[in-house]
Chains A and B, each alone.
Chain A
């Protein structure tokens, strides 16, 4: 089954404790992206990747890092989480940019205390 998986689905952590949210897709997609969803703000793009070793900032990249060492995986790293990073995070992938629709993972709800 074609899918985007994220882990963990739920995470509660404390300020400053490094964490990684994993994202994996089995559709051989070139484009992958991370979003955060906050009430009243919709989805905002954090980082995206056009292909292996090619990443770029979205609209809200501060406090986040990403890497794309393999085509299928695109982890999101929070090196020193802060409470304002409490949010619902989604990973998405697509065949490419432009006209291609994105496939979304189930989401990761992160709480930073």
Chain B
């Protein structure tokens, strides 16, 4: 079985400050991890993914995420937040124990960037 936890319902950060959105996961096998962003009244958009290799993954719009196997975490980060980054962020996992067929999402974290 696989699961994802996003412990913060909302994260507030001042524009220009670094931001972190947390994600931890639990899997039986080897995970593939994803971050998606949802703007109001829109579908989800892919930001970045971890497959294997370098633990620091870079994605769209200046976002990056760090895979930490010992802490089973995949936190999303950005060095300098923009007001336009305000949105709902979802972490998701697939693992090979089920043939990577199922996808499990976290409950989402609302990011509010304050001007």
Cβ of A51 to closest chain B Cβ, rounded Å: 11
Chain A residues at the B interface, C-beta cutoff of 8 Å? 4, 33, 35, 40-45, 48, 50, 56, 58-59, 90, 92, 97-99, 101-107
> Residues 15-37 of chain B: 1 if any A CB is under 8 Å from the residue's CB, otherwise 0?
00000000000000000101010
A101, B92: Cα distance in complex, Å: 10
Chain B residues at the A interface, C-beta cutoff of 8 Å? 6, 32, 34, 36, 41-46, 49, 51, 90, 92, 94, 96, 99-108
The answer on a CB contact under 8 Å between B105 and A98 is no
The answer on a CB contact under 8 Å between A97 and B94 is yes
The answer on a CB contact under 8 Å between B51 and A58 is no
A104, B39: Cα distance in complex, Å: 12
8 shortest interchain CB distances as A-B pairs: A104-B43, A98-B100, A42-B107, A43-B105, A97-B100, A101-B46, A104-B44, A99-B51
Cβ of B59 to closest chain A Cβ, rounded Å: 10
Cβ of B45 to closest chain A Cβ, rounded Å: 7
- Find the A residue at minimum CB distance from B103: A45
- Find the B residue at minimum CB distance from A109: B41
Cβ of A91 to closest chain B Cβ, rounded Å: 9
Cβ of B100 to closest chain A Cβ, rounded Å: 4
A104 contact from B45, B94, B96, B102, Cβ within 8 A: B45
Which of chain A's residues have a CB closer than 8 A to the CB of B92? 43
The answer on a CB contact under 8 Å between B102 and A48 is yes
The answer on a CB contact under 8 Å between B104 and A59 is yes
